[in-house]
Amino acid sequence: MQDRPAGIAKNGLKLKEKANRLYQNKSYTAAFGIYSKILANSGTEDNDDVKEFLRTVRSNRAAAHISLGHYAEAVEDLQHVLSSSSSVRNAVSKPPLSSPLATTTRKSYLRLARCFCELGKFDDATKHLDAHRDFVDGMRAPEEDELRDKVYGAQRNVSIATEDRAIPLNYVVEIIQPTPTAPIRLYEIDLYP
């Protein structure tokens, strides 16, 4: 078990480790429940260690949401994580990329981009991929490249599907039935004689 930062209850750290193990074992619903329990019992965010611990727990809960296919719910958690990271970062300059703050922020950008991709919000996905790239000072990461390819591929597929449905109209069919019991007569009207 890792060293317990000041202000974080021993039980909270144990619960997080248990939830992490459940997540790794693909027990996403159980992991989600424990992450939620930690957040519900966290109280106020007293110091930076507690804030970062809760950011990580919330980011992990978002990962569980994603694994369960609950993308909109994950977006809420991840936006909270990123908004709280900016307030922590304002107190210090940009954290080293190896710090827990940077790791949580980096993962949150990628997770948020994935959620937006799955929700069909490709511009938002691209925006968060770009924010990730800016955050890591332009360094390329395989998971970012893979996700970026997925976003661009999905955008292309939507564009092609939309183009395929746009079929020019050449004929109009007029249906004539003077009375409810009369036979139906169909007439084609050529729009481009």
- Using one digit for the tens of pLDDT, what is the confidence trace for 1-15? 455 555 566 788 899
- The confidence score (pLDDT) of residue 92 equals 47
- The confidence score (pLDDT) of residue 156 equals 81
CB 108 within 8 A of CB 85: yes
pLDDT tens-digit map of 142-175: 898 899 999 988 888 776 665 555 555 565 666 6
The answer on pLDDT for 37 being more than 50 is yes
- The confidence score (pLDDT) of residue 50 equals 84
Average pLDDT over residues 7-31: 90
- The confidence score (pLDDT) of residue 68 equals 96
Instruction: Kindly give the pairing relationship between strand 171-176 and strand 185-190.
Output: antiparallel
Average pLDDT over residues 114-120: 94
pLDDT tens-digit map of 58-98: 999 999 999 999 999 999 999 999 998 755 444 445 666 66
Residue 39 tokens read as 């957040």
Average pLDDT over residues 50-63: 92
What is the share, in percent, of the chain residues with pLDDT greater than 90? 41
Domains annotated for the chain, with CATH where assigned, are: 10-190 (1.25.40.10)
The answer on pLDDT for 115 being more than 90 is yes
- Side chain identity, residue 43: G
Q: Is the dihedral of CA 45, 47, 50, 54 positive or negative?
A: positive
Helix (H, G, I), strand (E, B) or coil at 183: coil
Backbone torsions φ then ψ of 185, nearest 5 degrees? -115, 130
Terminal-residue alpha carbon distance, the chain: 80
- The confidence score (pLDDT) of residue 91 equals 44
The number of beta carbons lying within 10 Å of the beta carbon of residue 35 is 27
Task: Name which residue leads in pLDDT, 136 or 189.
Answer: 136
- Opening angle at CA 103, ends 99 and 108, nearest 5: 150
